Amino acid sequence: MGKKTRTKILEAARRAFSEKGFNGVSVEEIAEMAGVNKAVVFYYFPSKADLFAAVWEKSIDELEEHIFEEIKDESVYLKKIKKFLRSYIDFVRNKKEIMRLIEREKVGVLSEKSDSIISRKLKARYKNFVKKIVDLLNEGKELKEIPSDLSVEETANIITNGIAAMIFDPNVSLENMEKIIFRTITK
């Protein structure tokens, strides 16, 4: 047992949570998908909630690293925001399992009803991701590249909800969504 086993469990859990949701899958099913027994899962993760938390955080980390790594060296704001949108869309298009997981479970994670230590941690992790988008939009306001009356919080939520939701609707063109968001932000 070691890092490979833990990784296999996380990958199986992400696949299972993505397909069936947190409440739709058992630890036994995840263990079977990972090729280990249930006791091994509990060796690494004390509870199903702890396993989900590890999967959630890793998924948000991957999304965040992908989209913000792409723009870190860009100094021209309008190019930066275009790269950001394209990178986000690229992630949605190519990491569907992660995006399905995030979108499927986001409502539960952000719910006011869940107030455990784990749920507060997951909520904070997602809100930190959205805050990075808010900060990016505020940068555009400071540079006078985007309108001063634009609500950056609402725009960040439109970006995260709009782009991510497109994986479930094949009739929506990701390229058109990018253009719509870019034009809205920069008018």
Domain spans of the chain, in order of start: 1-45, 48-186
Q: Which residues contact 61 (CB under 8 A, 6 or more apart)?
A: none
Measured distance CA(72)–CA(91) in Å, rounded: 16
- In the three-class reduction of DSSP (H, G, I as helix; E, B as strand; rest coil), residue 26 is classed as coil
CA-based radius of gyration for the chain: 18
Range name among 18-22, 104-108, 132-136, 146-150 with the lowest pLDDT average: 104-108
What pTM did the predictor assign?
A: 0.88
CATH class as words, domain 1-45:
mainly alpha
- The reported pLDDT for the residue numbered 167 is 65
- In the three-class reduction of DSSP (H, G, I as helix; E, B as strand; rest coil), residue 115 is classed as coil
Q: Which residues contact 130 (CB under 8 A, 6 or more apart)?
A: 156, 157, 160
Measured distance CA(107)–CA(44) in Å, rounded: 26
CATH class as words, domain 48-186:
mainly alpha
Q: Are 123 and 106 in contact (CB under 8 A)?
A: no
Has residue 111 got a pLDDT over 80? no
Structure tokens at 96: 């569907």
Measured distance CA(47)–CA(52) in Å, rounded: 9
Q: Are 87 and 70 in contact (CB under 8 A)?
A: yes
Q: Per residue in 152-177, pLDDT tens?
A: 999 999 888 877 766 666 676 767 77
Measured distance CA(79)–CA(90) in Å, rounded: 16
**By percentage, how much of the chain surpasses pLDDT 90?**
62
Q: Are 57 and 13 in contact (CB under 8 A)?
A: no
| CA separation, residue 32 to residues 1, 9, 13, 22 (Å) | 16, 9, 10, 16
Q: Per residue in 42-98, pLDDT tens?
A: 999 999 999 999 999 999 999 999 999 989 999 999 999 999 998 998 888 889 899
Q: Are 110 and 126 in contact (CB under 8 A)?
A: yes
- The reported pLDDT for the residue numbered 166 is 67
The identity of residue 184, as a single letter, is T
